[in-house]
């Protein structure tokens, strides 16, 4: 019996190799791993977070071991950034100041990210009266500048001395609206996609569709703004501490050190330049990380 002739021009179906399919987040990680800026920012952040977690490994002396006979001393052996007005080692105090400054920045970013993300996701997905009510509340808070609002709260409730949690609450109260606004727009775009409409067509509840389909596919912009806000909130904490309404002694922070040293900057610049350098490096690292994450997530750049 003759064998059937094979049709010419027919293309064999592609062979799918198990385990080779890459999802969106796998592609994002691949782009991150190819970016030199990602490794630079990650290395800087590892060092800064190491200072915050284990400052004793980086400091050269006890930050509270002060000698008034060495007031405003220049840099020397074992004192890389000299001494401040109280005779304390500026470098060691800058290392220990990373814990308060970075801790507040990370805490505020997490709180505002979760709060703003929940409000924005609810407003964008449910729409109608829910969207109208939450959007009006968001606009009210957006109308108040973050630094001004936080300063007023700290002046009212932190007159006896602002603690770490007081600063975190003051910044968080006015820091979530931007996250909510960006999340709302991202969720509105995601819920109009075909896979969400298909989930609703097969009987998937609105909450289930929100949790399983809309939120995971709208995390990109949310993740970018939260990452970028890390450096922003570290800067705001330093500003309010520099103004004298933030953290108070014995807590050490970069903003507080700058506040104490600014009056004698021309006479002794190192007590101000030291913590300012640490602050600049930390903020730069978070901004670089936010830019790299944005470029890796944004599909328009890689279309």
Contact 224, 49 (CB under 8 A): no
What's this model's pTM, rounded to 2 decimal places?
0.81
Contact 15, 55 (CB under 8 A): no
pLDDT tens per residue, range 212-254:
777 777 788 888 889 888 889 999 988 888 888 888 878 888 9
Would 224 be classed as within a structural domain?
yes
Would 7 be classed as within a structural domain?
no
Would 14 be classed as within a structural domain?
no
Would 210 be classed as within a structural domain?
yes
Domain that holds residue 183: 38-63+79-297
Distances (CA, A) of 112 to 21, 165, 230: 35, 14, 10
Question: How far is residue 52's CA from residue 48's CA, in Å, rounded to a whole number?
Answer: 6
User: Which of left, alpha, beta for 103 (phi over 0: left; psi -120 to 50: alpha)?
Assistant: alpha
pLDDT tens per residue, range 4-21:
544 444 444 444 444 433
Would 273 be classed as within a structural domain?
yes
Mean pLDDT of 119-135: 90
Both tokens of 214, joined, read: 């809309």
- Tell me, what DSSP letter sits at residue 268? -
Mean pLDDT of 65-92: 83
CATH code of the domain in which 293 resides: 1.10.3720.10
Judged by average pLDDT, the poorest of 38-47, 175-184, 247-256 is 247-256
Would 134 be classed as within a structural domain?
yes
Would 10 be classed as within a structural domain?
no
Would 70 be classed as within a structural domain?
no
Domain count, the chain: 1
């Amino acid at each position: 019996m003759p064998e059937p002739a094979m049709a010419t021009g027919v293309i064999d179906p592609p062979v799918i190799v198990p385990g080779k399919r890459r999802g969106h987040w796998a592609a994002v990680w691949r782009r991150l791993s190819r970016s030199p800026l990602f490794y630079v920012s990650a290395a800087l952040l590892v060092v800064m977070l190491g200072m915050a977690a284990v400052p004793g490994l980086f400091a050269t002396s006890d930050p509270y071991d002060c000698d008034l006979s060495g007031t405003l001393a220049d840099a020397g052996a074992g004192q890389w950034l000299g001494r401040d007005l109280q005779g304390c080692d500026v470098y060691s105090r800058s290392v220990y100041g990373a814990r308060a400054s970075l801790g507040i920045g990370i805490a505020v970013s997490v709180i505002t990210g979760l709060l703003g993300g929940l409000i924005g996701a609810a407003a964008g997905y449910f729409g109608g009266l829910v969207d109208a009510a939450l959007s009006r509340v968001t606009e009210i808070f957006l109308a108040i500048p973050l630094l001004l609002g936080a300063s007023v709260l700290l002046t009212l409730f932190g007159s006896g001395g602002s603690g770490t949690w007081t600063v975190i609450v003051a910044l968080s109260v006015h820091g979530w609206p931007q996250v909510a606004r960006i999340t709302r727009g991202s969720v509105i775009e995601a819920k109009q996609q075909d896979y969400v409409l298909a989930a609703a067509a097969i009987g998937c509840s609105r909450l289930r569709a929100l949790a399983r389909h809309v939120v995971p596919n709208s995390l990109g912009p949310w993740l970018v703004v939260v990452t970028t806000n890390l450096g922003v909130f570290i800067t705001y904490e330093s500003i309010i501490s520099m103004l004298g309404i933030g953290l108070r002694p014995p807590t050490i922070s970069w903003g507080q050190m700058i506040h104490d040293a600014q009056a004698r900057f021309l006479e002794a610049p190192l007590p101000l330049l030291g913590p300012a350098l640490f602050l600049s490096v930390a903020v730069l690292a978070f901004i670089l990380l936010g830019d790299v994450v944005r470029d890796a997530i944004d599909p328009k750049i890689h279309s």
